Amino acid sequence: MTAADGTPLLPVVLQSYPYPWNNAFIWTSEKEDQETLAYARAVLEACLPPEPLAEPEPPEEAVVHDSSDDGYPEWTEIRAVLRERMPYARYVTAERMADAEAECARRGLATTGFQEVWTRRITAWIAEQTLYWCGLMVDDEAALTPWLMDLAELYARRGMAAAKAVGALSCTKSVPESHAALARLATYDGLPDEIRESVAYELR
């Protein structure tokens, strides 16, 4: 797949990402061959933020019951606008992002730091999909060791796709590197409470 016209906002390796960024866990149909595993690793390396994020990304998916008066949070409407304009990573360009921002502003939605926020969130959703596939669907744990464990721990510490990162470690915790990473995360104060509780549960 080729990149769309415009100024790409995502790393080069993500511009050939063949799955919609907004669909959860499309990777599940992939084979565990060396080429696919190498691409998964490259994607995770490219998506990893260089330092801890000020706020965890992506936002937790909204669960709205029929009886709820709150409805869906505003960010889900913004995501829908982005889905229409850039459904694949190769379409995440400065020009399309500006068009989405203008549409969101027209609807009265929040646009502060729009390009930075939403480029980061799209990156985080891609990282989630990839971590999930590596941790849950790949049977050959030796092929994941130690790079997945190293990256998953960094994701959890830096606040991007942290729940899926811990999930990947939990799914592979029979591997010493995963167990050791979970043990380190158990004493890391930067994790949200619910994720720290998940880590503690896995170490029982």
Q: Give the pLDDT confidence of 77-112 residue by residue, as tens digits.
A: 999 999 999 999 999 999 999 999 999 999 999 999
User: Is residue 81 one of the residues assigned to a domain?
Assistant: yes
User: Alpha-carbon distance 103 to 97, whole Å?
Assistant: 10
Among candidate residues 203, 197, 159, 204, the one with its CA nearest the CA of residue 181: 203
User: Is residue 7 one of the residues assigned to a domain?
Assistant: no
User: Is residue 189 one of the residues assigned to a domain?
Assistant: yes
For residue 59, give the DSSP letter.
P
Please classify residue 35 by burial: count the beta carbons closer than 10 Å to its beta carbon, then call 0-12 exposed, 13-18 middle and 19+ buried.
Answer: exposed
Largest CA distance in the chain: 52
Residue 39 reports pLDDT greater than 80: yes
User: Is residue 196 one of the residues assigned to a domain?
Assistant: yes
The pLDDT tens digits of the residues spanning 134-177 come to 998 899 999 999 999 999 999 999 999 999 999 999 999 999 99
Distance of CA 195 to the CA centre of its chain: 15
User: Is residue 144 one of the residues assigned to a domain?
Assistant: yes
User: Is residue 2 one of the residues assigned to a domain?
Assistant: no
Residue 1 reports pLDDT greater than 60: no
Q: What are phi and psi of 130, to 5 degrees?
A: -70, -45
Q: Which domain holds residue 98?
A: 12-202
Do the beta carbons of residue 114 and residue 145 sit within 8 Å? no
For residue 5, give the DSSP letter.
S
User: Is residue 5 one of the residues assigned to a domain?
Assistant: no
Tokens of 20: 């919609």
The percent of residues in the chain predicted with pLDDT above 70, rounded, is 91
User: Is residue 111 one of the residues assigned to a domain?
Assistant: yes
Structurally, how many domains does the chain consist of?
1
